[in-house]
A = this chain, B = another copy of it.
Amino acid sequence: MIRVGILGYGNLGKGIECAVKNNPDMELKAVFTRRNPADVKILTEGVSVYHVDEAISKKDEIDVLILCGGSATDLPEQTKEYAKYFTVVDSFDTHARIPEHFANVDKSAKEGGNIAVISCGWDPGMFSLNRLYANAILPGGNDYTFWGKGVSQGHSDAIRRVEGVKNGKQYTIPVEAALNAVRNGENPELTTRQKHIRECFVVAEEGADKARIEAEIKNMPNYFADYDTTVHFITEEELQRDHAGIPHGGFVFRTGKTGWNGENSHVIEYSLKLDSNPEFTASVIAAYARAAVKMQKEGMSGCKTVFDIAPAYLTHLSGEEIRAHLL
C-alpha cells in the first residue's frame, strides 16, 4: 500500500482524498492543515488531521506527500521545503516561474534522495504530454489548445470584484466554428476572440445598476475585453442551484503534414470533458504519486515533470499485464 499524506485540505485536497479511496493500492495516512486541525473535518474515517507544523515529524509514515496549496505563494515555498523530507507531487501552474521552481525543487529533492513531481494535473499535465507527443510525431505542424466548457476561477473572482456584484461565475467556452476548422485541418490563424467566448452568471446586489455592471465586466482589460462576453443576471438561488459545480475540460490539437512533399495531412486531437476540475486534477496527481514512489524506490531522485516519467510507472499493473491488456 502506498501511504499518502495531503497537505492543504481545499477542493484539491478533498479530490486527492477521493482519488486515494478509488485507487486500491493507496491509503490515506494523514492530512496536514494550516487551520486549527480540530476545525477540519475530512471524509476518511480513522485518519487524523494534524497541524502543518507536525508534517516533517510524520515523514517515516508517509510514502508520498501531495501538496495542495496555491501556485501564487504556497507551492514556491512548500514544494522546495518538503521535497527535502518527502517524495512529493504538486500542481504548480504559474507558467513563467516553472524554470525557477524546477531548479529549487530539484536541488531539495536530490538533497533528500526524493522524487518531486511538479506541475501535475491536466494543464499543465495531460495537455502538456499531448503537446509533446504530437510535436515529436509531427515536427512541422501547428498546435492548438482550447479550454472549456468550464469554470474559470480567476474570471469568476474578477466578476465578483465589480462594484454591485454579490456573486458570480464565469464559463470559458471554445468557439465551435474554430474547433471545427482546426479539426478539419484548415490550420486557421485564430485571434483570442475567435477561440473562446466567455459567459457570465451574475448575482447583482439589490438596487445595483445592472447596465453599468454588464459594461464594466465586458470592458475589463485582460479578462473580458478581448472576448465576446455574455452576461446573465440571475438570483443567488439560481446560481446555487444551476452553477454549483466546477466542470472544465478542453481540447489539444496538432495538425501536420507527412510525405516527401507534405502531401498528406493528419489531425491529432485530445480532449477532456470533466464534471469536476479539482477531482480530475487529483486523479492525475494520484497516478503520478504512484509513479513518484516507484521511481524513488528504484533509487532515482530529483525534480520531474510528466515529460520525464515513463508511462508504465503510473499504473499498479505489471509490465506483463499492460503489454497483454493495454498495448
Give A contacts to B, CB under 8 Å. 15, 17-19, 21-24, 43, 95, 98-99, 102, 119, 124, 126, 128-133, 135-140, 183, 185, 258-260, 263-276, 279-280, 282-284, 286-287, 290, 305-312, 314-315, 319-320, 322-324, 326-327
Contacts and interface: CB of A to CB of B under 8 A. Distances in A.
Contacts of A272: 266-269
A136 B327 contact: no
Nearest to A133: B311
Given A266-B275, A326-B135, A129 B260 contact: no
Contact of A319 (B95, B308, B309, B315): B308
A139 B311 contact: no
A163 to B, nearest CB: 34
Closest 7 CB pairs of A and B: A264-B275, A136-B314, A258-B279, A136-B287, A264-B276, A307-B312, A267-B273
Contact of A323 (B102, B183, B275): B102
A243 B304 CA distance: 47
A132 to B, nearest CB: 5
A43 B263 CA distance: 15
Given A137-B287, A273-B267, A307-B319, A324 B259 contact: no
A280 B257 CA distance: 9
A140 B22 contact: yes
Contacts of A269: 269-273
A258 B276 contact: yes
Nearest to A312: B307
Contacts of A98: 323-324, 327
B258 A324 contact: no
A55 to B, nearest CB: 24
A22 B258 contact: yes
Contacts of A306: 311, 327
B275 A265 contact: yes
Given A266-B274, A267-B273, A305-B327, A136 B99 contact: no
A10 to B, nearest CB: 15
A25 B12 CA distance: 42
Nearest to A320: B99
Given A21-B260, A129-B311, 14 more contacts: A18-B260, A23-B139, A119-B327, A130-B270, A131-B326, A133-B314, A137-B287, A259-B276, A264-B280, A266-B273, A266-B280, A268-B272, A307-B312, A307-B319
Contacts of A99: 320, 323-324
A326 B18 contact: no
Contacts of A314: 132-133, 136-137
Contacts of A273: 183, 185, 266-267, 269
Q: Give the interface centre of A21, A119, A131, A327 by most chain B CB atoms within 10 Å.
A: A327
B18 A259 contact: yes
Contacts of A275: 258, 263-266
26 contacts: A17-B260, A18-B259, A21-B260, A23-B139, A43-B260, A95-B327, A98-B323, A98-B327, A126-B137, A132-B314, A136-B287, A137-B287, A258-B275, A258-B279, A264-B275, A264-B280, A266-B275, A267-B273, A305-B323, A307-B312, A307-B323, A307-B326, A308-B310, A308-B311, A309-B310, A310-B310
